[in-house]
Amino acid sequence: MSNAVTATADKPEPNFLEVTRGWKSWATTLDHKRIGIMYLVGILTALMLGGFFALVVRTELFFPGKTIVNQLWYNRAFTLHGAVMVFLVIVPGIPAALGNMILPIQLGAPDVAFPKLNLASFYLWCVGAACMLTSIAMGAIDTGWTFYTPYSLTTTAAVIPAVLGVFILGFSSIFTGLNFLVTVHKFRPQGMGWFQMPLNLWALYSTAVIQVLATPVLAITVLLLFVEHFMHIGIFDPNMGGDPVLFQHFFWFYSHPAVYIMIIPAMGVISELVSTFSRKHIFGYRFIAYSSISLALLSFLVWGHHLFVSGQSKLATMVFSALTFTVAIPSAIKVFNWVATLYKGDIRLETPMLYALSFILLFTIGGLTGLFLGILAIDVHLHDTYFVVAHFHYVMMGSTLVAFLGGLHYWWPKIIGKMYPEKLGQLCAIGVFVGFNLTFLPQFVMGARGMPRRYWDYDPEFTIFHQLSTIGAYILGISMFTQVVYFAISAKRGPKAPQNPWGATTLEWVAPTPPTLYNFPSPPEIPELYDYDDLVEDPEHGGFIRKPSTGPKKGGH
């Protein structure tokens, strides 16, 4: 028990942040935690950029007609917002930043299986991001983040670097996924079977499966787009006998599973948070684990629901509708299990838990509004309206990004070794929840009333909804920006974090804070997963310590 604690007390080993110094030691590091931190910096930068474009879009829509930018720049702004947020922020957000920091430590492993591949993956992310930014310099893309043909074949040359960026980012994603797959298979310690893994690892594992299987299709798709652009073969271009709807099939064959690349790791994070802050064993561990895997598999079978009004065959439409509904079941199971975990707990409303509770409510709305879009007759009315925009923001932002923020607050003390300002954190979490709902709830109404998406100008009867939405977006923007600022300050001079500030049971909280270069000075004992009985508050250092085990365990499982 607590080998780590005694080791640090006897002869403090330098932590991974101090073991070497200088920018070169970071640029060439093979340490998964440092790579995770570099990812985090990159992703937060991209998040602010994407948020800036979001505010340009929302500000423009404050009044009908022109408010601040003309139609061309509006089109570019929403395209860049979508492309940056999806490809640079949300897809890599939890796996590459949080996952890199945490996955090996949760396994009790010194690093991921292929540290060099891990670093390569980060550099590919940088190159991909640079390509996307090049496209802005070249006049920016205006195709929407989906690059639908034939429009994307007819518009400006700036599409080329953007598509190249997506191609490269795809490989970054594949490398991370491959690394995690092998790590989870090979680096699990003695005594940690599949069903002794924290649910976060199940989620990251399921995500990695999708990343490895689906992302190559994205690579193929954008490669074909290149070929079409330069060689005019006639794959997607109807003027040369191509099929523009084929592009949509290819694109969504990746991009629908990509939605689960975003949401499944979020669910993993939430499972950890809900259990820890309720001080309760997660309810229905196996159901949650299996639902992660089944979501990963089902995610491959539902891409056609993006094409219900595209002119695909009625039979295909029917089949895809039926398959789409199957996704609702594992999603519902998870929500019920999280709520049941709260039952008879001892619920602490620290910032990560506020995000976890926000997630449960926002994901519920995102999931329920998904029912509307799965029901064929209703989808015909709602497709390509603001209802869809609101729906996927509830899932991608309200769920994934909120879970990312929750996870960031949760693991920040462990990785950086400093605490963030708790009260301000709670305030921002409430700001995010309120701002988010104010932004996107009115969009459901607008959409059902028939407001099409991607409109620069709109009919006057929608004005009030757009204005509420814009006000919400600013509340959201301020809350997000404040967090980036206080994290930066906390990293410099936040109070020292205790080893286990939340009293969590997974392995990373056994490691020193911040962890040493290879995470554990000596191989750790595997603690009982989600068993909080032995963890008691430590009035001396703050946080929790494991009390020497005394007698038989209480509790009934």
Partner 1 sequence: MTGSGSASGSAVAPPTTATPPAPAAVTPGSQPGGAAAQPANTDTPIAKPDWVGSPLMCYDGKPHKWFEHEACKHWDTSGTFWMPKGANAAADGTDVMFYATLGLSIFCFFGITAAVVYFVIRYRHRPGHEPEPSAAHNDTLELTWTILPTIIVVFLFLFGWRDYVNVVTPPQKAVEINVLAQKWNWTFTHQNGVSDNVLYVPVDTPIRLVMTSKDVIHSFYAPVMRTKQDVVPKRYTFAWFYATKPGTYRLYCAEYCGGNDVPDGQPELGTGHSQMKTILVVLPKGDYQRYLNDAADTSSMKPEELGARLYEKKGCIGCHSVDGSAKVGPTWKGDFGQKASMSDGSTITVDENYIRESILSPQAKARPGYPPSMPSFEGQLKENEIQGLIAYIKSLK
Nearest residue to 36 via CA among 84, 89, 86, 99: 99
Given a contact cutoff of 8 angstroms between Cβ atoms, the answer to whether 331 and 356 are in contact is no
Three-state DSSP string of 252-317 = HHHHHHHHHHHHHHHHHHHHHHHHHHHCCCCCCHHHHHHHHHHHHHHHHHCHHHHCCCCCCCHHHH
468 binds partner 1 (CB under 8 A): no
Cα 100 to chain centroid, rounded: 13
Query: In the stretch 65-84, what mask flags binding to partner 1 with x, by CB under 8 A?
Result: xx---xxx-xx---------
What is the footprint of partner 1 within residues 386-425 (CB under 8 A)? Answer: none
Rg (C-alpha) for the chain, rounded Å, is 23
136 binds partner 1 (CB under 8 A): no
- Options 134, 364, 463, 482; binder of partner 1; rule CB under 8 A: 364
- Name the minimum Å distance from CB 135 to partner 1: 16
142 binds partner 1 (CB under 8 A): yes
- Options 22, 191, 193, 460; binder of partner 1; rule CB under 8 A: 460
311 binds partner 1 (CB under 8 A): yes
- Options 223, 371, 485, 536; binder of partner 1; rule CB under 8 A: 371
- Name the minimum Å distance from CB 391 to partner 1: 11
- Options 30, 55, 117, 361; binder of partner 1; rule CB under 8 A: 361
Given a contact cutoff of 8 angstroms between Cβ atoms, the answer to whether 264 and 404 are in contact is no
Residue 298 in tokens: 């089902």
Residue closer to partner 1 (CB basis): 381 or 541? 381
286 binds partner 1 (CB under 8 A): yes
Residue 504 in tokens: 């969590």
Given a contact cutoff of 8 angstroms between Cβ atoms, the answer to whether 380 and 308 are in contact is yes
- Name the minimum Å distance from CB 137 to partner 1: 18
536 binds partner 1 (CB under 8 A): no
437 binds partner 1 (CB under 8 A): no
- Options 2, 59, 310, 482; binder of partner 1; rule CB under 8 A: 310
For residue 15, the SS3 value is strand
283 binds partner 1 (CB under 8 A): yes
* Calpha distance 385→341 (Å, rounded): 36
454 binds partner 1 (CB under 8 A): yes
Given a contact cutoff of 8 angstroms between Cβ atoms, the answer to whether 43 and 129 are in contact is no
Residue 455 in tokens: 């409109």
- Name the minimum Å distance from CB 188 to partner 1: 22
- Options 281, 393, 409, 466; binder of partner 1; rule CB under 8 A: 281
Q: Which residues contact 423 (CB under 8 A, 6 or more apart)?
A: none
Nearest residue to 367 via CA among 341, 396, 403, 407: 396
* Calpha distance 99→91 (Å, rounded): 12
What is the footprint of partner 1 within residues 489-508 (CB under 8 A)? Answer: none
Name the segment binding partner 1 (CB under 8 A); options: 110-118, 251-259, 284-292, 397-405: 284-292
Residue closer to partner 1 (CB basis): 203 or 282? 282
346 binds partner 1 (CB under 8 A): yes
